[in-house]
Structure 1
């Protein structure tokens, strides 16, 4: 767009205020001149209180006020500045047509004084400009609504095409990508079992198996990201404790060396959906996968208040490097990062639930990730704060109050 055109459009509301000011000024000048006796009737009487003049002024004021108010209202309205020139053209067109018609009437009927001629011309311009402005604004709003409706239809069609494409991509990743990688992983594992430890065949098959598992994780994360971004899953009350217990059981089944200590209240409901399990599942998996301790230890604690549910997941790893902390939950530039899409997905899901996730602390003794979600009642009953949770007396697994 030409910058000069944008400047002109921005001035149009001021032009409207100026037109209203000119018409108001002409009307005031007429009154002053009539009062001073400059404009007098055929017999020399003052015309300021003449009925026709007063009627003309009273019928002019609404149109002049409307034109002036339009200049104030336009920049503050939802009308785009692209509509301003057409509105101004309608105003000028109305003024010219009204003036032409009334000049024709003046020529036919005639006038008895200069004052009458000036008043008639002023009245015709004001009325015509006001009516033209009204038509222009109405047309501008109609055009804008039509354009917005067309854009909305195009946007909807584009989103539908994107959704269909992503659904196809999701299906393709599942049936072609994931299945193929699982076949590779299975054969690599079989070669590992059949080859002697320490041999080249065992080493190569181990690399293939490990990398294929990494690819499987990436494909799974991408499919989940597609689901999070483009599927509208309704939110409902979900018990955080129940989700955590299931995910902890899955974690303990992965490796008997893992020690989990959990402090979970009886009930802690938040507004979420079936994807909430991926938030805690990924955090628990990260606490173990990136843990270089001989015995990976994970501590899970849930704290309830009237407003929120806070879940802390702590590990005994070596901590997260300082240079990784600022972009820990950002979109990874490469899937080669230690945490892949996992933490990015956790952040996206937490935001979807009107919550947050953060790295509460990290150091040589381990890291603590904190998830905070708004607390809700499982039904219409009032939520009350829960009692403080106690450590798991057994040392592993989840406990309830």
Structure 2
């Protein structure tokens, strides 16, 4: 049979320091074994020497037995050290303590002998005493060194275990923090989802309101156009027969044109409302707040024949009228809704409405107050909820609040000095 060669091994896979590392790892145990072999050699030499010089057999055998026992103990210590799981430093520690123990014990006995010699006393069997002291000291050193090395190893293992436990605690703490962070993110995501759902529901309701308002107003205008167009159609048929044209034909034509223009304005206004509601960044422009107030107050006077006065507008107006605030073309309807409510929900026979305007560098405040029955404190925030409306085709108060939010302002209800309610608007002043 031939010898197989492993083809998967390359010169790079061979560790050149492998044999050296092996020798270094075994050197401590070899030292202890060499110590035991040296003691065994001395024991054998001493036994042979005593056999030649002494006439008795038992004492030399006893001395040889002691030396042999000590030698075997050291040899066992060396073999144990070679097979132990101690690392290199710990093995060297045991070897050094073993040699040191033998040296210390031997040194003590040798010093004692020298003292005895200096005192003039005879020393018998000095070699036996010395190698016995060396063997006993070596075995004692091996025991002490082994125990100390084990103690150091156990301490290191305990420290490693403590470090592992600390790392495990830190990992558990990080996991706990991560879990808390994930929980916070989940709660934030849930809150954001709820907010988006609420915005979707709110936008849906707003669009339903816009649809109702748009259908109501445009339907009314179309009915007027249809009735006037039918009249003109009949009048034209009569004119074809009689040659006479009704005197109201021109008025009806003007009405048709006016209603068509009103439908156009209504469509534009509805488009602005939808854009303001649905756009996260609505197209707000500097809008003449003074013109919107004056037009709506004039409409209120003409429609209801009530006393309505405006205070402070002339003090805050700029050279081109104003003041200018951030809004859009729906602003007159926002104000008109509250002005109409002040009369419709007044509860008395002779309503009085007062509009006050004040301004600073950043905001313009408009207060619309009446002398009606007022609004209880527990309902002051509820009036802006869905369901509050100014009447057929009117924008709800909740829509007024929505529009003010989109304008970057706000609206609230207070008690009026006139005795009723005061709706206070705060607009952002346009630059």
| TM norm. shorter chain > 0.5 | no
Task: Give the TM-score range, shorter chain.
Answer: 0.3 to 0.5
Given the two structures, how large is their TM-score scaled by the length of structure 2? 0.39
Given the two structures, how large is their TM-score scaled by the length of structure 1? 0.42
Point out the structure with the larger helix share: 2
Q: Which has the higher contact order (CA 8 A, sep 6+)?
A: 1
